């Protein structure tokens, strides 16, 4: 039985690769074609089980302890600190460089992350909201609410809401872009931390520090699993690859690794769009 299962899986993989992603390709009405369809569905169902498991883990851990602390009112910046507004947030005019659909999804989550930090520093938010509203219209994804505030609630607090966003992405057949946003959002948080280690690292304890590394591992795994069926994800995987060495198990290790990876994080972030 085990040998038969292995042969079936190997054959189905060959058939899946040979048929490619052309949804309009006519299928033969032969029994072999029917078998191919069943095998395809089996493989995709198997992958979905893996992705479901990864998303369940993503929902279990904090999106970022910075966001959690901001939301819980544990980050109270002094007036003096707020005067030094961050110059490391993504320029809003760079949105014009987000041309492909993948880049627009990445830009959407990056600007949502940045808007949260801009709010922390009492910066004006109208320009962010206008930029985000246009991106939402351009993307036109049923999984993402058209209202900016509702989208912010869904996308910008990935801990408790990641499962909901994933489920909606499955329904709208935009799972690949779900992983694009997971990757870009995680990268933007890492970038902001590296720009201001002394301000943000004290918010981490050993558990939340290790979860930052774990979260990136989960995102990597999700993207790698889908690349054979969503080749466009190869681009974001290439962008993230230099960060695969991130494996902190405590706050001190995370501080040290992010300090060492500062340039690599900046380079990766510059390639998002």
Tens-binned pLDDT, residue by residue, of the chain (273 aa): 444 443 334 444 333 344 444 444 444 444 444 455 676 666 678 888 999 999 988 888 765 666 666 666 667 778 888 888 999 999 999 999 999 999 999 999 999 999 988 988 899 999 999 999 999 999 999 999 999 999 988 887 566 688 899 999 999 999 999 999 999 999 999 999 999 898 888 888 898 899 889 999 999 999 999 999 999 999 999 999 999 999 999 999 999 999 999 999 999 999 999
Q: Is 237 helix (H, G, I), strand (E, B) or coil?
A: helix
What's the predicted TM-score (pTM) here?
A: 0.80
Residue 20, class by beta-carbon neighbours within 10 Å (0-12 exposed, 13-18 middle, 19+ buried)? Answer: exposed
Q: Are 39 and 11 in contact (CB under 8 A)?
A: yes
Does some domain include residue 17? no
Q: Within a domain: residue 32?
A: no
Q: Which residue range forms the structural domain that includes residue 247?
A: 2-9+38-270
Q: What confidence score (pLDDT) does residue 243 get?
A: 94
Nearest to 194, CA basis, from 60, 66, 63: 66
Where do runs of H (alpha helix) occur along the chain? 2-19, 31-60, 65-71, 79-83, 101-120, 126-139, 148-155, 158-171, 175-195, 197-200, 206-226, 233-240, 251-260, 262-270
In a domain, 29, yes or no: no
What Rg do the C-alpha atoms of the chain give, in angstroms? Answer: 20
Of the candidates 240, 238, 132, 232, which has an alpha carbon nearest to the alpha carbon of residue 183? Answer: 240
Closest Cα partner for 82 from 121, 44, 116?
121
What tokens were used for 270?
Answer: 């510059």
Looking at the structure of the chain, the number of domains it has is 1
Residue 57 counted as domain residue: yes
What's the burial of 253, exposed, middle or buried (CB within 10 Å: 0-12/13-18/19+)? middle
Flag whether 21 is in a domain: no
pLDDT for the residue numbered 154? 86
CA neighbor of 155 nearest in space, from 74, 191, 200, 141: 141
Establish if 14 belongs to a structural domain.
no
CA distance 138 to 208: 35
Whether 18 is in a domain gets the answer no
> Does a structural domain hold residue 23?
no
């Amino acid at each position: 039985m085990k040998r038969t299962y292995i042969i079936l899986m190997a054959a189905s993989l060959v058939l899946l690769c040979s048929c490619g992603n052309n949804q309009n390709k006519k299928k033969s009405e032969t029994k072999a074609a029917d078998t191919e369809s069943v095998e395809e569905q089996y493989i995709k169902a198997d992958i979905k089980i893996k992705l479901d498991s990864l998303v369940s883990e993503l929902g279990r851990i904090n999106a970022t302890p910075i966001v959690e602390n901001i939301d819980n009112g544990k980050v109270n910046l002094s007036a003096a600190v707020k005067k030094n507004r961050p110059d490391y947030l993504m320029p809003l005019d760079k949105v014009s460089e987000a041309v492909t659909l993948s880049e627009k999804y990445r830009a959407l989550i990056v600007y949502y992350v940045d808007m949260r930090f801009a709010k922390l520093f009492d910066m004006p938010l109208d320009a962010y909201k206008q930029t985000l509203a246009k991106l939402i219209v351009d993307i036109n994804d049923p999984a993402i609410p058209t209202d900016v505030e509702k989208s912010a609630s869904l996308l910008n607090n990935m801990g408790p809401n990641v499962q909901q966003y994933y489920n909606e992405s499955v329904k709208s057949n935009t799972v690949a872009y779900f992983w694009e946003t997971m990757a870009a959002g995680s990268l933007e948080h890492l970038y902001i931390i590296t720009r201001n280690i002394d301000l943000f690292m004290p918010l981490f304890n050993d558990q939340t520090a290790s979860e930052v590394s774990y979260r990136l591992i989960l995102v990597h795994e999700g993207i790698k699993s889908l690349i054979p069926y969503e080749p466009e994800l190869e681009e974001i995987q290439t962008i993230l690859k230099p960060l695969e060495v991130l494996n902190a198990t405590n706050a001190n290790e995370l501080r040290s690794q992010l300090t060492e990876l500062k340039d690599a994080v900046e380079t990766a972030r510059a390639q998002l769009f």
